[in-house]
Amino acid sequence: MLHSLSGRAESAMQARLLTVLRDQGPLPRTALADRLQVSRTTIAAEVGRLSEIGLTQETGPAQSRGGRRSTMVALADDIRFVGIAIGATGTTVGVTDGRLDVLRTEKVDCRIDMGPDLVLRAALDHVRRLLDELGVERPMGVGVGVPGPVDFGRGVSVAPPLMPGWDGYPVRDTVSRELGCPAVLDNDVNVMAVGELHAGVARHARDFLFVKIGTGIGCGVVVDGELYRGVNGCAGDIGHIQVRGDGRRCVCGNTDCLEAYAGGAALARDATEAAERGRSAVLADLLAEHGLLRACDVGTAVARGDLAAATLLRESGQRVGEVVAGLVSFFNPGLIVIGGRVSGLGHALLAEIRGTAYQRSLPLATGNLPIVLSELVDAGGVIGASRLVSAEVFAPAVAT
Amino acid sequence: MLHSLSGRAESAMQARLLTVLRDQGPLPRTALADRLQVSRTTIAAEVGRLSEIGLTQETGPAQSRGGRRSTMVALADDIRFVGIAIGATGTTVGVTDGRLDVLRTEKVDCRIDMGPDLVLRAALDHVRRLLDELGVERPMGVGVGVPGPVDFGRGVSVAPPLMPGWDGYPVRDTVSRELGCPAVLDNDVNVMAVGELHAGVARHARDFLFVKIGTGIGCGVVVDGELYRGVNGCAGDIGHIQVRGDGRRCVCGNTDCLEAYAGGAALARDATEAAERGRSAVLADLLAEHGLLRACDVGTAVARGDLAAATLLRESGQRVGEVVAGLVSFFNPGLIVIGGRVSGLGHALLAEIRGTAYQRSLPLATGNLPIVLSELVDAGGVIGASRLVSAEVFAPAVAT
């Protein structure tokens, strides 16, 4: 029943119309005309054209108790986007409709250091199964996030420190070819930030930061409702900002990087050391049980009342808070969203980040600054990746 | 001969036209039509209207050796803007033409802690004299920069730590009333950043940072060719970012702020200490000679081969470099311009900032990142302030 779609917007006007329908639709034609500040005749003509190429549908006047009502316009029911959010220790794939509501999502266990061939194959296998189950022949686009720097224009990942085999790998073109649709590639943090902008706590924010604390630490920067990527696409790489420390060496070769003290990898390492040196019986038990410790084990130990684990979590939060304080002074954002797997360790971490950031920043910048946890969890990456490719698909092929 | 001007742009099209003429004019009508992507008829009509209200003038076809040439259009010859750049230890005032070329500029000795009444009176006295000398009855607008946070919307300075008496003072409205023209108020660093964008080394940059090292330290943030002010207008307040240190107390109440170690005030204080404790004979001589030491004395001592002074300058540069490295990781700018009075101490300081910033940032972000000294010196603030108010004057009174 669902047919394949190859239509794309033909003009800037159509692109704006599709974007409004994606973010605020379905809407009556009259409301569309108001929002785009054009006549109803123009809207009727453009919607007619978009319906012909399979991008919108008109659902007829809504049921009325009297007065005549305007025809409702919606994105076509059968539009499907795919989001693939690749993390250091696992991938989340999902399928959304045109409004980017997640229809189906799934987690795939695989480590980024298995290399691009295996990681992408696993992700694509799961995507194909989800599409099958949903009866989708071909999605309209696929967005991909990877946990490292990306050359956005070329669609390849670049010299990623934790990702052997990924340097220069044509992720975008591979995924596009395999699924037979347009694809975009961005780093995982940008993708998650866009997810927050679309469906998360940052829905109504214009200038905000999304700080991801996973195995590594990164930051998505949104300026005036748009992702800011920097001139080389590596804006937000805050994991290697210097913090006060004891000269600890980071994987990047520098010393005292934030990531050398905070984030999932640092927590796991420090927890293992605490367990092995007899500073925490709880962590030692968990180590004996699992064979190795991960960041989530620190959370478990904290929940069991372990003091050493609580100290680790607090110190990690303080380091993140120091860097966040600097970003607040520099960027004066309206909102900071904390996400990523380690942020799942909860409010103790958030409390430290907040405490340090508020204390270190000037009152003018922090007076009304909410620092909150993301509520999207894994869906954020899928929604953000879908949104990035939807913008690509909805953009006109030629400028008008 | 010069008459007073009260005309303002009447539409978004006129505003774009005036901006193109300000930044790239004079231009033939044909070139204007190309740049604004409208017909020559439209350009002719709009220019005609702007000439009627005294904002543009047509200079007739340029001399030709044969073929007919398009009529040249320029901003009206008699447009004058005033820029007032107030610093912690002195003010620079200037008058520009419509293209923001500085016609006359003057320095006014006065300290910001003399309070707004005295500082503004001194600045306005000098402005009036310059206007008199130039035969200007009334300028078209005046831009003002002050060395502290500003509520841009209300045009008042806000709780400035170094500026007793300025908190909530209606700087914008006072200056507007005194000179009888529209005024804008921004902080000095933003004003200087805009000056660099208009006429400095950042002329062709879209995303850059302007780091001002004066008595204090601040940063102007330009995103996609526009000043980024942050949600409360205090973006770029980097003087209170925490650096590695010995717990030194800052005037803001926190410890280890960048300004507690670097910038003019810190240099002057550390130089005085070095002189008093016998660590530098040259600085001790300068102290005996002047009664007090300023940042520029450190430069003098360095030029005389004083080791203690060179160390002070180097350490100051390293601290600034640390913070700049963090900004590079976060913001991935295409250019960093270093300005302000202390930057006048020269290339030794710049070398330290560069060395530390390049070493601490990831290769992807610093591969093509120039870190350069401003070449505008005092004119930067005047040009930037004039540009800010020109944008206000050229903007249409009602949206079209």
CATH number at residue A230: 3.30.420.40
Residue A4's pLDDT band (cuts 50, 70, 90): very low
Nearest residue on chain A to B239, alpha-carbon basis? A329
Cis peptide, bond prior to residue B28, ω within 30 of zero? no
Does a structural domain hold residue A5?
A: no
- Residue contact B252–A333, C-beta within 8 A: no
Q: Is residue A56 part of a domain?
A: yes
B85 and B50 co-located in one domain? no
Q: Which residue has the higher pLDDT, B53 or B172?
A: B172
Say if residue B339 is in the same domain as residue B208.
yes
Domain count of chain A? 3
How high is the ipTM of this complex? 0.89
pLDDT in tens, A192-248: 999 999 999 999 999 999 999 988 899 999 999 999 999 988 899 999 999 988 999
Average pLDDT over residues B312-336: 94
Is B400 among the domain residues?
no
Instruction: Report the gap between the CA of B105 and the closest CA in chain A (Å).
Output: 31
pLDDT at position A66, please?
57
B179 and B285 inside one domain: no
- Specify which of A242-246, A256-260, B243-247, B342-346 reaches the highest per-range mean pLDDT: A256-260
**Residues B259 and B238 both lie in one domain:** yes
With b for 16 or more beta-carbon neighbours within 10 A and e for fewer, the B59-87 pattern comes to: eeeeeeeeeeebbbbbbbebbbbbbbbbb
pLDDT for A146 beyond 50: yes
Within the 44-83 window of chain A, which residues sit less than 8 Å (CB to CB) from chain B?
none
Is residue A199 within 8 A of residue A376, CB to CB? The reply is yes
Residue A54 lies in a domain: yes
Q: In a 10 Å sphere around its CB, with 0-12 CB exposed, 13-18 middle and 19+ buried, how is residue B290 labelled?
A: exposed
B256, B323, B329 member nearest A238 (Cβ): B329
- What end-to-end distance do the CA atoms of chain A give, in Å? 34
Domain membership flag for residue A361: yes
Nearest CA in chain A to B335: A231
Last residue of a domain, one of A54, A75, A96: A75
**Residue A368's pLDDT band (cuts 50, 70, 90):** confident
Residue A325: closest C-alpha in chain B = B241
Q: Is A314 on the interface with B (CB under 8 A)?
A: no
The distance of B4 to chain A (nearest Cα, Å) reads 38
On whether residue B29 sits in a domain, the answer given is yes
Q: Is residue A1 part of a domain?
A: no
**How big is the A-B interface in CB pairs under 8 Å?**
130
For residues B140 and B230, membership in a common domain is answered with no
Q: In angstroms, how far is the first alpha carbon of chain B from the final one?
A: 34
Cα A37 to Cα A14: distance, rounded to the nearest angstrom:
13
> B389 pLDDT band (50/70/90 cuts)?
very high
Residues B238 and B347 in one domain: yes
Q: Say if residue A27 is in the same domain as residue A41.
A: yes
CA–CA separation, B311 vs B296, rounded Å?
A: 15
Q: Are residues B91 and B162 in the same domain?
A: yes
Residues from chain A contacting residue B209 (CB–CB below 8 Å): none
Domain boundary among B75, B107, B128: B75
Q: Which of B396, B398, B376, B397 is nearest to B83 (CA)?
A: B376
Pair (A85, A69) in one structural domain:
no
- d(CA B332, nearest CA chain A) in Å: 5
Give the count of beta carbons closer than 10 Å to the beta carbon of residue A188.
Answer: 28
Q: Report chain B residues whose CB lies below 8 A from the CB of A221.
A: 330-331
Provide DSSP, B21-88: HHHH-SEEHHHHHHHHTS-HHHHHHHHHHHHHTTSEEEEEEPP-SSS--PEEEEE-TT--EEEEEE-S
Interface of B with A in 195-234 (CB under 8 A): 206-207, 219, 221, 223, 228-234
Q: Do A339 and A273 sit in the same domain of this protein?
A: yes
Q: Are residues B341 and B388 in the same domain?
A: no
At residue B398, does pLDDT exceed 70?
no
Specify the CATH number for the domain of residue B45: 1.10.10.10
Closest-CA distance of chain A to residue B297, Å: 30
* Nearest-Cα residue of chain A relative to residue B319: A242
Neighbours of B275 (CB within 10 A): 23
For the ranges A53-57, B64-68, B335-339, the lowest mean pLDDT is seen at B64-68
Q: How far is CA B130 from CA A96, B81, B85, B93, B101, in A?
A: 65, 12, 15, 9, 15
Looking at the domain assignment, is residue A52 inside a domain? yes
> Using only C-alpha atoms, what is the Rg of chain B?
23
- Residues 131-150, chain A: which have Cβ within 8 Å of B? 149
d(CA A82, CA B372): 44
Among B75, B95, B111, the domain-final residue is B75
Residues B170 and B232 in one domain: no
Residue numbers of the domain that contains B158 = 81-196+379-394
